[in-house]
Structure 1
């Protein structure tokens, strides 16, 4: 998501071989599923992923920081770089705004330098699940990293006779040019092998606290401490300032002895960081933690097994699954304490886990629907966690980061997650609380928010709500982004209507179902686009449907071409706005054929992965291709999905065509590669698209297996000829979530020519 200047449109094209053979992935050494994960995929172009180790949904993500500022430094790493500032302990996966990058360490040799920088060659860098390694060119050091749930583990091997040193930079920050800054740094020498402290910073998360506890395998000498740019006496036991870094020297390391460092972190306090370290990694055993990490990932990846002999496809698929299981991240100490949305310390109730990094505007579309299939328990936990966040802060967050309301993106997308989980009858969710949280979040006003004092200004929506509550449109000459907000709020209100129906509240159902029709206010029948409308009822002019701007247009991260189609919940009503279905289809066809040129000097960087004006690199386009199947032209869906799967997801560093967005881009690939997609979260119906694999097995939590078996599958045979469920032909290329939960067999037969009556 997000940010700055005109982007030279980039299109990755890579021809991937489609294997016609199939063979079961056997569990044996050297053929584990983690072997198909390439953490470098997405670290190039604008994917914004990181290559460092992480546990599934882990709280710590140690890895190299190669870039500190700018949009392509959002994760702290870019594949094109050849310098390393050091290894920080936390990173975001695929976001369009940068943050984290907490507590940096850099091993180096020789004399002290003011913030030394390491150089490396790509041939000397390696990443796999649970493990990262690099050898520096300018220092005699090889560094290795692995990770637990709340603990980072570093291992540095120094060679040569030069002095062995480590930079400890408490004040390290990504994105200083975006206004990120430190509020306070501190560290305390506990003994010659132990340091603890705090990094307290302000960035995307306005109040971000990371407590840390470090243990070194060898004693250190504190050479130098720098506070706010000045060197200070290095003989004290503790140090405080806004920006603090220090240099440690290790004289007692023997030849061929590695320096090992264990780092526990906590958002609660230093005692929490220490307890996390001691609970999770009491011993010195880098190999054991790496193996624990990899076993955890193998278990997660086994939720889906694909059958094909094509290694490239396995690599893309399992790397996508890996990326889909990084966020949301656990944000809770081993003892159950956590920092809540009110910034107070809470004790988690039994069975509840607090999480952070919910990129909800992105992930409600594919990531969370995918998880309702492969990890029902986690899906329920996340919904319940969002409801707890509502109780702590009086409204549902739309992009919570480290106990902060960032206010990022549009409206109240959490209700889509809630509606989808309830529509799929996931057990263990309080429906009445879900309805209360959803309605209050749709109606909230600043004066109603009692508990929250740290809200990003974009989180508050009283002006938008004022017009929606009045039953009218959001005027473009009063509020920016009016069309995007209006369309999204209509869909979210439809989601609330579904929650009300499931809860048995007819009054609220009718109220929010009516609000779900407010998308109609923005449709201009003369142009066939969703447009901004002024308070006096006139359309905003001049109107350029290809114009895209972050700051001045009526659209968020897109233009009229992309946003016109955001009506996933009422396709029939949407079609009725046109003279007839043929005119609607003609307009939809033109989306994929109109020039890819984007107008506007401040065009969004997210307009990537273009097929005409369709932009797969950003989320508002992700559902559009499936309209064709509902309109009786399924072959067009299949052609588009085939093109996207093969051209926009190569197994290379450039293999994610836009920001990964915490798993959304990858989850889209996973679902479609298996052969189906959900058009509308909140409606538990799946559309059969264009499967890549001859066979897929999805292991369900009820111990059943849902199998997709595909016949006559090849690169040329991209059109669905016939589909059946447990031997019963499907009259339409649709099936339900209940069908998956029952287990069984979805059989799809492919051919090289469109079938015009499916």
Structure 2
């Protein structure tokens, strides 16, 4: 009876059998070496706080010139470093540029030192040597021993609050340093102003306004200690300190207000062996009052272990939206680490009451949706946002609402290009908010005013003063002698325009459709049939002389060369292939891309600094190539897509510090991995089709927000069996090289039968 009743009882009560602990497969340390630019610290899914260690403070300029070493520190942490400077509360994940690093905290003992010292001589400052042997990085939790001070540092987080726990080893005075000067990409004049106010013996509030990548960024904090402060003070390192009326007090010791451009404060405590000092720091884009409300709402108590459990439960919930089966632990680690990185950005940007600072610097309220920031759209439109349309559609819709709020607050009346913290950075090219919006509309994930969103897309795309658009509209191309990176811009504008046309057609706006479908053909205007490459043109219509298709600089391209960008017409693959000589010749071009050997002189141009992310002349570390491998499906050789996908998965990803072949770019590299290992990929966002490839998992079950499940079932999976022999959709033979978005969202099972020899299963 018990054998019969127990499963029945479990089913009735909704109690499931113990799930696999997916957190064990997540390796936040992945990508922290060289070019991955990820960070290992504590955050929750899409959280506003990213509490993580900084391993160095490199000046942006050396002797009046740009210091190339700063590029390593886009996330503040490099695995090969030997010292930790402190723990700050905001970080980008995987970007190729930097900002943030707000409110760095560092615990010390012994003599008070308020400068960071150097990596070569950490004893000259407050930094400390550390060892990876004592370092633990998990979703929502980070731990390390600060060896110079014999302090165990632990941290966890909620969405808007960072929670520190420092265990001291001996009797004496402990210092908690709050460095308001420290920042990632150490611009000399990045701080516009900082302010600290000691409210009482445990509560400190303040703000920092910076002028970095974001020109006008302001962040507020409320910081509370678990025990009363004994003494406190600060030093102002600004060259232009104005003493004036402040001389009526000794403002540097136990004076409750501290203000200036370059301030480091300290808070002293008496500790006993094994004593823990806990610190909670809440952030707000609005006010210190907002930060206090966030603190009280999210972490009102002092139970560090409970907050850690809560953070990890949030990660468990999100990661379990896809359950994979695989005989390879490394595959599981790659997959769930990719999901972890994909669910970090964009980040929540509002207080618990829905208020946030807008692009106009005024305070707004979301009135019901979550406002997001950190939109690295040139990267993430390709796979990350399409992935959200499958597995996080509700969040993606809110991200689009956030983009629309940006548009409404923009003095230029433009959708975001690359935006964060109520600022537009104008980084990279195109207007790829259009792609994100169109992809959602075309896939039926548009619980917002789609017609209003279309108008925003059109207004953005008609902005003649933006980045060569006037030339593009008038001439159908951009003259390289007028605007740099002209070919890349034309190709990306043409794709975005196609997205607008598709959305307009679906919404019944034929006038807009006709205008933008015509513009989407402008890619033809930069194709040179004599060389077989996309090529920059000049104002007189001639092609630019001295053309080198392997070079990026001064050749009309950005983060790629003519070999890469000549393949960037995702909206018209058949027409592109015909234009470039037909399927056979085009396939040979693709083959050469992967097999050619680039001379050393081209590496700096192709991948900015190193050989990371490069296979032949295929640059997986830069996004313009991410769709390329799926073009073999359109040449009649789908088995080459399958073979190349599995090769890239093996070469570009592994669960280690150097496990990413290039910047993760706010989750785009990781989203590529997720899609490709599942066996399908959005080669052209804005279309409702996914290209089929070669799945690397044994089985995957996608838990969709509509309550349905979509299963990827792989037969005969192995490292050698990379070729698809047969595909079945819901048990029926499937002869197509694509599946639709509705095929996935309706639930069901796609079955891949694998083998060791190439086969065209569509015949």
Structure-2 separation of matches of 1:223 and 1:695: 57
What is the match of residue 307 of structure 1?
325
Structure-2 separation of matches of 1:608 and 1:124: 28
Structure-2 separation of matches of 1:67 and 1:728: 57
1:639 and 2:643 correspond = yes
What is the match of residue 554 of structure 1?
556
Matches within 5 A, 1:264-413: 264-350=282-368, 352-393=369-410, 394-413=413-432
**Cα contact 1:67–1:77 (8 A) shared by 2:** yes
1:183 counterpart SS class: strand
2:752 counterpart SS class: strand
1:470 counterpart SS class: helix
Structure-1 separation of matches of 2:621 and 2:235: 43
What is the match of residue 155 of structure 1?
165
What is the match of residue 241 of structure 1?
260
Structure-1 separation of matches of 2:55 and 2:619: 29
Give aligned pairs, total. 712
Q: State the Cα deviation string for residues 526-578 of structure 1 (Å, max 9, x = none).
A: 111111111112211211111123xx341111111111111000011112213
Match of 2:47 among 50, 54, 58: 58
**Cα contact 2:627–2:683 (8 A) shared by 1:** yes
What is the match of residue 617 of structure 1?
621
Measured after TM superposition, the shift of residue 756 of structure 1 is: 3.7
Matches within 5 A, 1:594-609: 594-597=596-599, 599-600=601-602, 603-606=605-608, 608-609=612-613
What is the match of residue 83 of structure 2?
83
Q: State the Cα deviation string for residues 54-90 of structure 1 (Å, max 9, x = none).
A: 0100000111001333111000011111111101011
Structure-1 separation of matches of 2:726 and 2:320: 28
Structure-1 separation of matches of 2:623 and 2:48: 26
Match of 2:595 among 568, 589, 593: 593
Measured after TM superposition, the shift of residue 598 of structure 1 is: 5.6
Measured after TM superposition, the shift of residue 686 of structure 1 is: 1.0
**Cα contact 2:434–2:500 (8 A) shared by 1:** yes
Q: State the Cα deviation string for residues 591-624 of structure 1 (Å, max 9, x = none).
A: 1222233645852535632222111111000000
Match of 1:44 among 19, 33, 37: 33
What is the match of residue 470 of structure 1?
474
Task: Return closer, same or farther for 1:602/1:648 CA change in 2, 3 Å cut-off.
Answer: closer
Matches within 5 A, 1:129-148: 129-148=139-158
Structure-2 separation of matches of 1:717 and 1:601: 33
**Cα contact 2:735–2:761 (8 A) shared by 1:** no
Task: Return closer, same or farther for 1:117/1:604 CA change in 2, 3 Å cut-off.
Answer: farther
Measured after TM superposition, the shift of residue 172 of structure 1 is: 1.5
**Cα contact 2:231–2:269 (8 A) shared by 1:** no
What is the match of residue 119 of structure 1?
129
**Cα contact 1:548–1:598 (8 A) shared by 2:** no
**Cα contact 1:303–1:374 (8 A) shared by 2:** yes
What is the match of residue 244 of structure 2?
none
1:105 counterpart SS class: strand
1:216 and 2:225 correspond = yes
1:436 and 2:426 correspond = no
Task: Return closer, same or farther for 1:180/1:488 CA change in 2, 3 Å cut-off.
Answer: farther
Structure-1 separation of matches of 2:761 and 2:311: 49
**Cα contact 2:251–2:258 (8 A) shared by 1:** no
What is the match of residue 203 of structure 2?
194
Measured after TM superposition, the shift of residue 180 of structure 1 is: 5.9
**Cα contact 1:301–1:318 (8 A) shared by 2:** yes
**Cα contact 2:281–2:295 (8 A) shared by 1:** yes
What is the match of residue 108 of structure 2?
108
Task: Return closer, same or farther for 1:445/1:466 CA change in 2, 3 Å cut-off.
Answer: closer
Q: State the Cα deviation string for residues 335-383 of structure 1 (Å, max 9, x = none).
A: 1110111121101122x22110011110111111111111111111112
What is the match of residue 576 of structure 1?
578
Structure-2 separation of matches of 1:180 and 1:693: 49
**RMSD, aligned CA:** 1.6
Measured after TM superposition, the shift of residue 257 of structure 1 is: 2.1
- The gaps in structure 2 that reach 5 residues or longer are 1-15, 59-69, 116-125, 242-249
**Cα contact 1:528–1:587 (8 A) shared by 2:** no
What is the match of residue 521 of structure 1?
525
**Cα contact 1:632–1:757 (8 A) shared by 2:** no
1:249 counterpart SS class: strand
Give TM-score scaled by structure 2 length: 0.91
What is the match of residue 10 of structure 1?
none
**Cα contact 2:145–2:151 (8 A) shared by 1:** yes
Task: Return closer, same or farther for 1:530/1:316 CA change in 2, 3 Å cut-off.
Answer: same
Q: Structure 1 stretch 123-132 or stretch 570-579: which is displaced more? A: 570-579
Measured after TM superposition, the shift of residue 478 of structure 1 is: 0.9
Task: Return closer, same or farther for 1:325/1:27 CA change in 2, 3 Å cut-off.
Answer: farther
1:176 counterpart SS class: coil
Q: State the Cα deviation string for residues 244-303 of structure 1 (Å, max 9, x = none).
A: 11121102x344220000111111111111111111111111111111101111000010
**Cα contact 1:266–1:273 (8 A) shared by 2:** yes
**Cα contact 1:59–1:150 (8 A) shared by 2:** yes
Matches within 5 A, 1:677-696: 677-696=681-700
1:480 counterpart SS class: coil
1:145 counterpart SS class: strand
**Cα contact 2:348–2:371 (8 A) shared by 1:** yes
**Cα contact 2:725–2:760 (8 A) shared by 1:** no
